[in-house]
Structure 1
Amino acid sequence: MQQFLEFFGNHPGLFIALGVVVALLIANEVHGNLTGGKRLTVSEAVRLINDRDPIILDVRTPADFKKGHLLRARNAPLTKFDEHLGPIAKDKDKPVLVYCALGSNAVTAAERLRKLGFAEVYPLRGGLNAWLGANLPVTTK
């Protein structure tokens, strides 16, 4: 404990920086939960897919979609998002899983879907990168 106090006394700037980083991480999580609703982890998304058969929307570019996407996913690029909503507009009571590469664009798409009246919209936390990081399958078909 004495060494810790001595280190703290010699390097207060490092502890201030650590406090700022922790505060920013917490603020980011709180902001995401307040604006984007509940973001699903990969395991929660798998459970949703297996139990409730959601609509799955990939908001990445068509080129990225062709390289690999979740099974049964529909491509609805964020730049032309509203044009791709026609086929799913009648299923507003069905849950929707939205993902992108990292997760930030999925939150934006989820907000737009909620404004259009979709009842349950869940962005995938970490996006396709988190999905692949969990060694889950993707398809190119």
Structure 2
Amino acid sequence: MNDVLQKLPGFVSKHPELVALFVLILVVLVATEIARLFRKWKSLTPAGLTQLINRDTPLIIDLSASADFEKAHIPGAKNVAMSQFDPETQKDLSKAKELPVVLVDKDGRGVGKAANRLLKAGFTKVFVLEGGTYGWQTAQLPVVKGKK
């Protein structure tokens, strides 16, 4: 260990680009984790969503494109195009402010903004499915094909 600490200044002076890249990656990781801790919506694994479905009646909103929704979606999910997602004007959503609302998309990457919009509109129980429909299928959970 002492040998490593003695060689560290030499490494830093010979490889400033690598050190700068390491520091940048470290800062991004820390910032991402801090942001995750302070966000008000919760992430759910496929198993967590299964538990939520079994103990509650969540409203599952799939924000995938229509073609992706028709290929495979979680049973009971309602498809709403991301471009038409407005929690303040949609009738289905305005009735569900006290229900748990789970947002899903194809791969779980594009629903954070929608979750924040729900929170801003007064929803109290907002969840996002990690991995989206793809994660659900990977966990070998049932999917439905078609429009409904």
Whether TM exceeds 0.5 here: the answer is yes
Q: Matched residues, percent identical? A: 34
Q: C-alpha root-mean-square deviation of aligned residues, in Å?
A: 2.7
TM-score by structure 2 length?
0.76
Q: Report the equivalent of 1:102.
A: 107
Cα displacement (A) at 1:70: 0.6
**Which structure: larger Rg?**
2
- 1:40 equivalent in alignment to 2:44: yes
In 2, are the aligned partners of 1:36 and 1:107 still within 8 Å (CA)?
no
Unaligned runs of 5+ in 1: none
Change in CA separation of 1:87 and 1:128 when aligned onto 2, cut-off 3 Å: same
CA distance in 1 between counterparts of 2:107 and 2:40 reads 14
Counting matched residue pairs gives: 141
Cα displacement (A) at 1:104: 3.2
Q: Report the equivalent of 2:66.
A: 62
TM-score by structure 1 length?
0.79
Give the alignment partner of residue 21 of structure 1, picking from 14, 20, 25: 25
Q: Report the equivalent of 2:53.
A: 49
Unaligned runs of 5+ in 2: none
Change in CA separation of 1:119 and 1:9 when aligned onto 2, cut-off 3 Å: same
Deviating more after overlay: 123-132 vs 112-121? 123-132
In 1, are the aligned partners of 2:72 and 2:133 still within 8 Å (CA)?
no
